[in-house]
Amino acid sequence: MYRFPIQTLIACMLLGCQPPAAAPQATPQTPPEGPSRAYRKEVVVAGSPFQGVHGLALDGHGHLLASNLLGQSVHSVDLHSGAVSTLVGPPLGGADDVTLGPDGSIYWTGFFSGRLMRRTPDGKTHVLATDLPGLNSLAFRRDGRLYITQLGRGVDALSEVDPDGNKPPRQVLANPGFLNGFEFGTDDRLYGPILLKGQIVRLNVDTGAMEVVAQGFAMPTAVNFDARRENLYVVDAARGELVRVRAATGEKKVVASLPTGLDNLTVGPDDQVYVSNMVDNDIRVVNPADGSIRPLVEARLTVPSGLAVAPEDPDERLYVADVYALRRVGGRDGKITDTTRVLSTRMNFPMQVSLGAKHVVLSSAYLGSVQVQDRASGEILRTIPNTNGVQGALELADGTLLVAEAQTGKLVLIDTAEPAKTTVLTEGLEGPVGLVADTEAKVPGVYVTEVRSGRVTRVRLSDGFKHTVASDLQAPEGIARHPDGGLIVAEVGRKQLVRIDPATGRTTVLASGLPIGLPESEGLPPGYVPTGVAVGRSGTIYLSSDIESALYRFVPAP
């Protein structure tokens, strides 16, 4: 994947409620009961086997290994049918890159967990090294020595590691400039892209001497040799190009043009090039002889998370924070009409989304920021850094942003005219994730879900006073207002969709057995990949599925 320093941002969640004297007592969740109104579950956008596909490697037996970072799994893909199976599932399989060792073992890097992993041919999984934040790419030299890179999360380094895990890692080079997907040549030199400089370099890992092979790339993310080991194939994520580089001279030629968001590649013995695209969540095969491209694994969504729908929109078109893109999806027909992609634009890996009168507000714990986008033009107007695990974010009537910080447990107000100026509205929340406004009430406030405490809390905007609306939930994340005034919440821990009466706290189960709730992983903030909920003016409820990378709707029965 594209490995800029990953920071965690905190989504804006600010809530309001009644004064202490008039506030009702906190009402525990009543035992779930059958829905007062039946809903019909329908698929809006069908799912895919990945949550953003990254590193690739051929196993020599008719299969392609594929790493799935956010899905926390390592997969095997049949080269003929495209069928995908899971070799290592969550949480151990959180792989950014994957390769094969000399004995047939599978090695992969845990970007968030900081663990280097190995699956031996007998199917056993081992932890080889820990405490390697930003663990990214890896490759073996011909003599069996294994090298890894760390990108982001405060580290930029190349190190040698023991393939058996008996010795601690040894740093070879510090601050190379974000050395990404690399491979060794027949000269035992490391060939790889330097992201920050747009270069392909040749590196002597014994001396640290580095020379430029080719340059002028926008965002080179990985290289691989062809079958004859004479040419390098390079993927440029920002331009969507597969480029062939003659290793001896640096001569470049664009072999194929693909969508932006290319992440990694591997080359078969027949010189067919397998390319992963994390934005489109797919794998394509390029024939460099004629530039033809065919799909191997296809998808329509990548990691659908936060959802929003304009209450005045009769067509109920959804804004989907798809982590690697912001997409517009027809709630009724599932048609994707507009996509703003990361890497090739200023958008920062959106994970939560909300709508104001003129703006779209996006937050990203992935890249640690809150962004304000113009609804009409799609232009990113402001980017505000926040490294506190941002989750829900709202724009208030005066333009102030309300952000939920999952790591600090705070709701903070951000003055967009002076973004460095923040005010804590309230604190002491336990993993705030979802936000929904209640600003038209006599006492304006916001509702927030707390994934750690299992509460839905109302926070008064005037002074930050907190009132528990419902408790005893399990990992509530997405939240939305129904036209009838009820709160619709994704209760991820119980894999169900519930309706909460904000006046009494009474909870009704609307749907259960839902494919939501990837397991949490080390190094990530609470509710990292949030399950999104939105409600259209018709009363139809929309739900994102992180497990299936799908989008569902629940239509009220007549």
Model confidence pLDDT, tens digit, residues 381-407 = 999 999 999 999 999 999 999 999 999
Residues 187 and 324 in one domain: no
Residues 365 and 510 in one domain: yes
pLDDT at 440: 87
CA distance 328 to 470: 32
CA distance 4 to 356: 29
Residues 308 and 292 in one domain: no
Residues 207 and 350 in one domain: no
**Residue 299 CA to its chain's centroid (Å):** 15
pLDDT (average), residues 310-338: 95
CA distance 374 to 365: 21
For residue range 255-277, what is the model confidence (pLDDT) as tens digits?
999 999 999 999 999 999 999 99
pLDDT at 36: 53
Residue 23 in any domain: the answer is: no
- DSSP structural state of residue 141: -
Q: How many residues does the chain have?
A: 558
Secondary structure in 3-state letters for 470-533: ECCCCCEEEEEECCCCCEEEEEHHHCEEEEECCCCCCEEEEECCCCCCCCCCCCCCCCCCCCCE
Q: Answer with the one of 297, 329, 347 that is the final residue of a domain.
A: 297
pLDDT at 10: 27
Residues 333 and 408 in one domain: yes
Task: Domain of residue 542: give its range.
Answer: 39-47+301-556
Contact indicator for 396, 372 with CB cutoff of 8 Å: no
For residue range 460-516, what is the model confidence (pLDDT) as tens digits?
999 999 999 999 999 999 999 999 999 999 999 999 999 999 999 999 999 999 999
Residues 193 and 233 in one domain: yes
Residue 342 in any domain: the answer is: yes
pLDDT band at 15 (very low <50, low <70, confident <90, very high): very low
CATH number, domain of 236, equals 2.120.10.30
Phi, psi of 197 (to 5 degrees): -115, -5
CA distance 116 to 132: 8
Name the residue type at position 149: T
Strands 155-161 and 170-174: antiparallel
Secondary structure in 3-state letters for 210-254: EEEEEECCCCEEEEEECCCCCEEEEEECCCCEEEEEECCCCCEEE
pLDDT at 3 over 80: no
Residues 382 and 254 in one domain: no
* Mean of per-residue pLDDT scores for the chain: 91
Residues 411 and 426 in one domain: yes
Q: Is 308 helix (H, G, I), strand (E, B) or coil?
A: strand
Residues 212 and 291 in one domain: yes
Residue 19 in any domain: the answer is: no
Residues 267 and 317 in one domain: no
Q: Answer with the one of 297, 319, 353 that is the final residue of a domain.
A: 297
Q: Could you tell me the pTM of the whole model?
A: 0.90
Residue 24 in any domain: the answer is: no
Residues 451 and 469 in one domain: yes
Residues 251 and 352 in one domain: no
pLDDT at 418: 82
Residues 6+ positions from 187 with CB-CB distance below 8 Å: none
Q: Answer with the one of 231, 266, 297 that is the final residue of a domain.
A: 297
Residue 30 in any domain: the answer is: no
Residue 370 in any domain: the answer is: yes
Residue 233 in any domain: the answer is: yes
Determine whether 549 is exposed, middle or buried from the number of CB atoms within 10 Å of its CB (0-12, 13-18, 19+).
buried
- What's the total number of domains in the chain? 2
Contact indicator for 434, 392 with CB cutoff of 8 Å: yes
Residue 208 in any domain: the answer is: yes
